[in-house]
């Protein structure tokens, strides 16, 4: 009887140790992005409504698929090798580039600023 109690006590002690070990291995790989600001959240909404169908899900089945540009302004370069700057992204959105049409007149200035703020967020 004492042996059973002793064995159960070890099991109870070992289970939390296994949980801590698993957490120490798995949690460093988990990274959550900071919450979006209200402006970034608006930008995310605009991206989802106006950009995602090409630059994400590619609902139009474009070949080749346009790059996913979420978080693109966190990087140094755009997918085409140009500098990742607000000015360059604004120019591409408003003028178009390659197969991408111009979106001039489809974004108000506050919406464009919100979209750029979202593209600056780390959305991994």
Q: Is residue 113 part of a domain?
A: yes
> Assign residue 92 a region: left if phi > 0, alpha if psi is -120 to 50, beta otherwise?
alpha
- Tell me, yes or no, whether 21 and 72 share the same domain: no
CB distance 123 to 71 below 8 Å? yes
User: Do both 21 and 64 map to the same domain?
Assistant: no
Both 26 and 42 in a single domain?
no
Count CB neighbours of 5 within 10 A: 9
d(CA 69, CA 59): 16
| CATH number reported for the structural domain that contains residue 59 in this entry | 1.10.760.10
Total count of domains within the chain: 2
Query: What would the pLDDT profile of 15-66 be if each residue is shown by its tens digit?
Result: 555 554 455 555 545 556 689 999 999 999 999 999 988 888 777 787 888 8
Residue 114 to residue 99: CA distance in whole angstroms:
24
Residue 4 sits in the same domain as residue 61: no
- What SS3 state is found at 122? coil
| Contact in structure between 115 and 43 (CB atoms under 8 Å) | yes
Peptide bond preceding 64 in cis form (omega within 30 of 0): yes
Q: Is residue 75 part of a domain?
A: yes
**What is the pLDDT, as a whole number, of residue 91?**
96
Q: What is the pLDDT of residue 49?
A: 93
| Token pair 């002793």: residue | 6
pLDDT tens-digit map of 79-110:
989 999 999 999 999 999 998 999 999 999 99
In a domain? residue 124: no
Residues 67-75: what's their mean pLDDT?
87
Residue 93 lies in a domain: yes
Q: Is residue 20 part of a domain?
A: yes
Whether residues 22 and 42 fall in one domain: no
Q: Is the pLDDT of residue 115 over 60?
A: yes
Whole-number pLDDT of residue 8: 54
Q: Is the CB of residue 94 less than 8 Å from the CB of residue 102? A: yes
101 and 78 assigned to the same domain: yes
**10 is in which domain, residue-wise?**
1-30
pLDDT at 111 over 80: yes
Same domain, 8 and 63: no
Q: Mean pLDDT across the stretch 59-77?
A: 85
Do 26 and 44 fall within a single domain?
A: no
């Amino acid at each position: 009887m004492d042996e059973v109690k002793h064995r159960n006590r070890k099991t109870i002690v070992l289970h939390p140790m296994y949980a801590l070990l698993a957490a120490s291995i798995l949690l460093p790989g988990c990274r959550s992005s900071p919450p979006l600001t209200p402006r970034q959240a608006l930008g995310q909404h605009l991206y989802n409504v106006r950009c995602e169908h090409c630059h994400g899900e590619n609902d139009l089945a474009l070949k080749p698929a346009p790059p996913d540009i979420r978080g693109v302004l966190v990087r140094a370069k755009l997918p085409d090798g140009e500098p990742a700057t607000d000015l360059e992204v604004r120019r591409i959105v408003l003028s178009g580039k390659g197969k991408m049409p111009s979106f001039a007149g489809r974004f108000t200035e506050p919406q464009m600023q919100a979209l750029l703020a979202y593209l600056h967020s780390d959305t991994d």
